[in-house]
């Protein structure tokens, strides 16, 4: 999905009075807009600081964050052309990539293309473990779902979670999916990822689970789940 650059959606967050980094007004707005290259620093901060627990278990906290920064800026883990950011005031507080999940996964091949810079972060001694972790990740990921509109990535600034930002991004994605005549939404996430509660609150349910003992030993996470939501037809 490519979001027109002229399109902006302003949604009122009922919990926005708890957003302490902006005005405490009860009627504060979350502005959703298409991401630009100027947002990459904020996108990477939200996605990689702190890093996801499996990557932290694989590489250590600092290395995982630095590698995540590299992959975001190289376009490996997110596609700006299909990314929406949530803004409160002048601050980017959430990010969502829709539609690029199955083309931008961080595979060993894509990481190897960035080998010189990646090696500086990972260290030669840790490279075999890093590549093994990436290979094991493929065991717990899912194929494309026919007729579904995929949410590739959805992150909210950790200081502002449970403030309605994630829900606003999900609703926006669902509106876009209906305009594309998609029948359902799909998202995959870690079995133990707290974000599962956000999806469940918004009508998503687990349809498939992939667990792998070797993946858990290396990454510290049992595996991943595929979640779907059937979409109601658009209303006139």
Query: According to the model, what pLDDT value does residue 105 have?
Result: 55
From CA 126, how far away is CA 32, in angstroms rounded?
39
Structural domains in the chain (count): 1
In a domain, 165, yes or no: yes
Residue 236 lies in a domain: no
The domain of 183 spans 8-230
* 120: in domain: yes
- Ranking 23-32, 47-56, 74-83 by mean pLDDT, the lowest is 23-32
Strand partners, 185: 149, 229
Report if residue 33 sits inside a domain: yes
Q: pLDDT tens, 100-153?
A: 554 455 566 766 778 899 899 999 999 899 989 989 999 999 988 888 999 999
Return the sign of the alpha-carbon dihedral for residues 36, 39, 41, 45. Answer: negative
Would 215 be classed as within a structural domain? yes
In a domain, residue 3? The reply is no
Q: What share of the chain has pLDDT > 70, as a percent? A: 81
Domain of 158, CATH number, reads 3.40.630.30
Other beta carbons within 10 Å of 161: 16
Report the distance separating Cα 176 and Cα 1, nearest Å.
Answer: 8
- Tell me how crowded residue 35 is: count the other CB atoms within 10 A of its CB: 23
* Residue 235 lies inside a defined structural domain of this protein: no
Residue 2 is assigned to a structural domain of this protein: no
The Cα–Cα gap between 204 and 207 comes to 9
Average pLDDT, stretch 203-223? 97
């Amino acid at each position: 999905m490519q979001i027109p650059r002229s399109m902006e959606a302003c949604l009122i967050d009922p919990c926005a009075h708890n957003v302490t980094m902006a005005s405490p007004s009860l009627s504060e707005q979350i502005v959703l807009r298409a991401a630009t290259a100027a947002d990459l620093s904020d996108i990477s901060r939200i996605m990689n600081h702190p890093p996801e627990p499996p990557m932290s278990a694989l590489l250590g906290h600092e290395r995982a964050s630095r590698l995540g920064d590299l992959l975001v800026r190289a376009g490996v883990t997110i596609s700006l052309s299909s990314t929406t950011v949530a803004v409160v005031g002048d601050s980017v507080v959430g990010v969502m990539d829709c539609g690029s999940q199955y083309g931008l996964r961080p595979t060993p091949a894509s990481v190897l293309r960035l080998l010189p810079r990646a090696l500086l972060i990972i260290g030669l001694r840790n490279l075999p473990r890093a590549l093994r972790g990436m290979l094991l990740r493929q065991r717990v990921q899912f194929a494309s779902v026919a007729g579904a509109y995929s949410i590739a990535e959805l992150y909210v600034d950790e200081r502002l979670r449970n403030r309605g930002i994630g829900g606003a991004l999900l609703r926006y994605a669902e509106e876009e999916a209906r305009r594309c005549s998609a029948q359902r939404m799909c998202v995959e996430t870690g079995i133990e990822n707290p974000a599962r509660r956000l999806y469940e609150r918004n009508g998503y349910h687990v349809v498939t689970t992939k667990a792998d003992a070797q993946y858990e030993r290396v990454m510290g996470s049992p595996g991943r789940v595929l979640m779907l939501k059937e979409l109601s037809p658009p209303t006139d």
